[in-house]
Amino acid sequence: MMLLEANKLSYVYDNNRGLLEASFSLQTGRVLALVGGNGAGKSTLIRLLTGQEKQKSGEMIWHKPQTIRYMPDDVDFPSMLSAIEILQLLASFKNVDKEEQENVLRRVALWDVRKQRVKQFSKGMRQRLNLAQSLLGNGSLLILDEPTNGLDPFWIAELKKLMLEEKNKGCTVIFSTHLLAFAEEVADDVLVLHEGEILISGALKEILLQEDSPSLENLWLKKLNL
């Protein structure tokens, strides 16, 4: 079932960076990777998808109302609060019960340090707390902005498992990354962005087959003439 159609979406900032006439579609129950370097337009697109910004031109058509769960690229959690206090506060806005809060903390391996103040957390632990808050509730669309930031190789592998678990529950997942190999491992569909424009769009396996490319990285370098 079609979930989303975007037609010539544009949002350009004063520094001339942003998104330029992006057109793509997305089916329900799939994983979409937004791939590109810094300034490619990934976060701008996510801000449009989450309603933080309104496109300056073009249209975005949702074929079915969505409850969105969202993981920003960075969260400045109150440093004097503990992990469990922060999750309890955020859970109160989503009407999530205590059992689910505890399960989510266990899911990201922060249960044993739940009473520890966030100021004592490493970057990776804060990122896992950020992931935990995005997993609260039953939203049918999960959007993750650079979720691998600060994670070590073990937790990048665990993140992959978590994303596929959400997909297997029927959730649609959209995530941004600059790690092409990670995107290739987990994504069904891909949007490769460069300087605000879409270089590659569609079902990843089909694209690699059509382009006779061994990997997404190889294809990306080819498109950039590198």
Residues 128 and 95 in one domain: yes
On whether the CB atoms of residues 29 and 171 are closer than 8 A, the answer is yes
Q: Say yes or no: 125 and 94 in one domain.
A: yes
For residues 132 and 163, membership in a common domain is answered with: no
Q: Average pLDDT, whole number, for the chain?
A: 94
Please report the pLDDT score of residue 116 as a whole number: 96
Select from 22, 5, 7, 19 the least CA-distant residue to 195. 19
Domain stop point among 138, 154, 184? 138
Shared domain check, 57 and 90? no
Asked if residue 73 belongs to a domain, the reply is no
Residue 5 in 3-state DSSP?
strand
Domain boundary among 138, 163, 190: 138
Is 18 found in the same domain as 116?
no
Segments forming the whole domain that contains residue 105? 78-138
196 and 127 part of one domain: no
Q: Is residue 195 part of a domain?
A: yes
**How many structural domains comprise the chain?**
2
End-to-end, the C-alpha distance of the chain in Å comes to 37
Same domain for 133 and 159, yes or no, is no
Q: Is residue 8 domain-shared with residue 98, that is, in the same domain?
A: no
Q: Which pLDDT tens digit goes with each residue over 45-62?
A: 999 999 999 999 999 999
In the predicted structure, residue 39 carries a pLDDT above the cut 90: no
Residue 123: its pLDDT value, please? 94
| 158 and 133 assigned to the same domain | no
CATH code where residue 168 lies: 3.40.50.300
48: exposed, middle or buried (Cβ count in 10 Å: 0-12, 13-18, 19+): buried
**Per the domain annotation, does 72 fall within a domain?**
no
Pick the most confident of 40-44, 64-68, 220-224. Answer: 40-44
Clarify whether residues 146 and 131 are in a common domain.
no
Query: Residue 124: which of 90, 147, 91, 101 has the closest Cα?
Result: 147
Q: Residue 226: its pLDDT value, please?
A: 56
19 part of a folded domain: yes
- Provide the pLDDT for residue 225: 78
Same domain, 132 and 109: yes
**Residue 100 shares a structural domain with residue 125:** yes
CB atoms within 10 A of CB 93: 9
Please say which residue of 89, 120, 138 terminates a domain: 138
